[in-house]
Every structure is written in C-alpha cells, then in structure tokens.
C-alpha cells in the first residue's frame, strides 16, 4: 500500500556461543573419514604435476616451486602480472599494514583473551614475530594524521573481535598461525600456507577440524577458493579433511561457513593442478602468457603489455 513503511532487516553478526556453534556445526553430524581419500588426492596431484615439476629435487639452494594461495590466484589470473610483481619490490600499503596488525590482535585474543592497547600491542607482536613485511617501519613513517587514523581503525577491529569472539576452550585445541607444508613430486613442488585459526583435535573416524581465515577487508570472490585450498592442505597433511572451513571478516563481523565435501576437495585439486603447472612452467624459464584482467591498470609491466593496454575494464 502507498505510504506503508518498508521493513529492512538489519544484519546481526554472530557472536559468543552462536558464533562458536556455527563454527563447530552444533547439531550437525560429523562426516566419516574415508581412509583412502587423502592418498587418492595426493596421487592425483603427484601424477598431474610430475611432468610439470620435472628437474632437480628441491634443496636449500632450490627449494622447489612453491604453491601458495597468493601465487595460485596470481598465476591463474595472469602469468605476466605475477612475474612483473615478483621483479618489483613489494611495497607496504595501509591495507597490508592493517591486515598484519589485525591478524596479530586476533592471535593474541584467541591465545591470551585480553587486548589492552590494540595498536601498541599489535605492533609489538609483529616486531617479536620478525615483521617480514616491514609493517612496523612503515607505520612509524606515516604522517601523524594517517597513523592516528590507522590506530583508530585497529582499535575498532579489536573491539569487534573482543565483543564477538569468546576465547575458545583449551579442549578445542585452538591453533593460531599454523604453518602447513606439503611437498609433492620429491620436493620439486611444495604446497604451503599459514592457517589463521584451526579448531579441533586431529580426526579419527570422523572429521573434527574447523579451519578459519581472518580478513580485515571486504568480501572477495577469491576468499572462497583460498579456503578450499586450505581444506586440501589439511587433508593432505593430516590424512583427513576438515569438516568445516570459514572466513571471518573483522570489519563487519560477518562469518561465512562452508562444509567440506568431496566436491570441494576435487575442485581444489583441479585448481592446484591448473595453477601449479603454470608456476612450474614459469620456474623453468618459459615466457609468461598475458591475460587481460581487472588488475591491468596496476600492473608494473603495463607499459610493455599490448593486451593489457588494450584492455578496458567494463563500466559500472
């Protein structure tokens, strides 16, 4: 009817016990572990990458072709862009700094259950951890107004984490920043990643692990593929798949949870094979292919890339 009020449902992010129930699948039966699944997936990868990863086995001097969520996405998007990015020093941005600082605070909250001075504690945690990206130095060099704005943003993310996340019980065996490395074809190809949070004891007869990725930015399409890659890593590493994977967005409190099915793992294997073969080919010195994509305007190789210069992103 004309003049009738429009009711708009406001999204309420999960918090407390509700958040943990969604992560742990309260009331949902855990799937049985197929004892032959992990071995079958590994054999599929070994066979598919054997020719592409041919050459000397990985060593300290040549550790093999590394396949991570970042290199996988980049290789499938545009090989030339990936090569150009590798040859250009990685600069720290405010977005990268924010992500590193929020990750440090999330780890502190899950393990300690307390955040007093978010900005100072996050910077301190990064420094103690080695700060490979140089975030602390970047933050120190920011103009005072930008530094203060970043500190305010970090404090808001910390407040959201503390308000919504109960500290997991030790019985759930929470592990933060867990590094997973899976060598294939004699070490010539190495799958790897760092899991923000894993909950649950190693699986026995039933799947029991939940893997969580923490994001400080907005939703992106590739986040789901990243989760599937981590599900595959956990399956290959432990011999059993996780029963759930999730992405938690600290900005909004949104939680995307997905069960891990055979289809998820099969899709992840196919994606690793497609991207891994490209990475192996590039490591062997092949000329990178050029694929126009939305990142062309930010590519360091754009002045020398005819397909990239001809590409025009669709108007919105």
Each domain of the chain, given as residue ranges in start order, spans: 31-50+63-78+170-282, 94-164
Count other C-beta atoms under 10 Å from residue 126's C-beta: 21
With 0-12 / 13-18 / 19 or more C-beta atoms within 10 angstroms meaning exposed / middle / buried, residue 6 is exposed
Q: What local confidence, expressed as pLDDT, does residue 21 receive?
A: 87
Q: Is residue 18 packed enough to be buried (19+ CB in 10 Å), middle (13-18) or exposed (0-12)?
A: middle
Q: What is the pLDDT of residue 187?
A: 93
**pLDDT confidence of residue 11:** 66
With H, G, I as helix, E, B as strand and everything else as coil, classify residue 301. Answer: coil
Rounded to an integer, what distance in angstroms lies between the CA atom of residue 211 and that of residue 207?
Answer: 12
In this predicted structure, what is the pLDDT of residue 31? 86
pLDDT of residue 92: 84
- Cα separation, 70 vs 90, in Å, equals 13
Distances, alpha carbon 84 to alpha carbons 80, 91, 210, 280, 290, in Å: 6, 14, 36, 16, 11
For the record, the structure tokens of 240 come out as: 């059993």
Q: What pLDDT shows up at residue 316?
A: 46
Domain 31-50+63-78+170-282 has CATH 3.30.479: no
Could you count the other beta carbons within 10 Å of the beta carbon of residue 26?
10
Which residue numbers in the chain have pLDDT < 70? 1-11, 53-63, 89, 312-316
């Amino acid at each position: 009817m004309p003049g009738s009020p429009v009711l708009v449902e406001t999204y309420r992010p999960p918090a407390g016990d509700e958040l943990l129930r969604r992560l742990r699948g309260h009331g949902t039966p855990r799937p049985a572990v197929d004892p032959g699944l992990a071995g079958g997936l590994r054999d599929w990868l070994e066979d598919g990458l054997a020719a592409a990863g041919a050459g000397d086995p990985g060593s300290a001097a040549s550790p093999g072709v590394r396949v991570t969520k970042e290199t996988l996405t980049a290789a499938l998007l545009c090989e030339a862009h990936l090569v150009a990015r590798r040859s250009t020093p990685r600069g720290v941005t405010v977005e990268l700094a924010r992500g590193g600082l929020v990750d440090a605070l999330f780890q502190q909250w899950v393990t300690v259950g307390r955040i007093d001075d978010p900005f100072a504690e996050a910077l301190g945690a990064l420094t103690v951890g080695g700060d490979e990206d140089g975030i602390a130095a970047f933050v120190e060099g920011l103009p005072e107004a930008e530094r203060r704005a970043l500190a305010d943003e970090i404090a808001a993310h910390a407040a959201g984490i503390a308000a919504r996340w109960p500290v997991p019980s030790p019985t759930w065996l929470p592990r933060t920043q867990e590094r997973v490395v899976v060598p294939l074809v004699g070490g010539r190809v190495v799958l790897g990643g760092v899991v923000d949070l894993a909950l649950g004891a190693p699986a026995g007869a039933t799947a029991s692990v939940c893997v969580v990725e923490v994001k400080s930015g907005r939703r992106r399409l590739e986040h789901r593929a990243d989760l599937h890659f981590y599900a595959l890593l956990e399956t290959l590493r432990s011999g059993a798949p996780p029963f759930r994977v999730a992405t938690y967005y600290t900005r909004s409190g949104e939680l995307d949870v997905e069960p891990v099915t055979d289809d998820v793992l099969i899709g992840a294997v196919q994606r690793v094979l497609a991207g891994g073969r490209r990475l192996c080919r590039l490591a062997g010195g092949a000329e990178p292919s050029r694929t126009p994509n939305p990142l062309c305007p930010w590519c360091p190789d754009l002045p020398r890339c005819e397909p990239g210069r001809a590409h025009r992103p669709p108007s919105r």
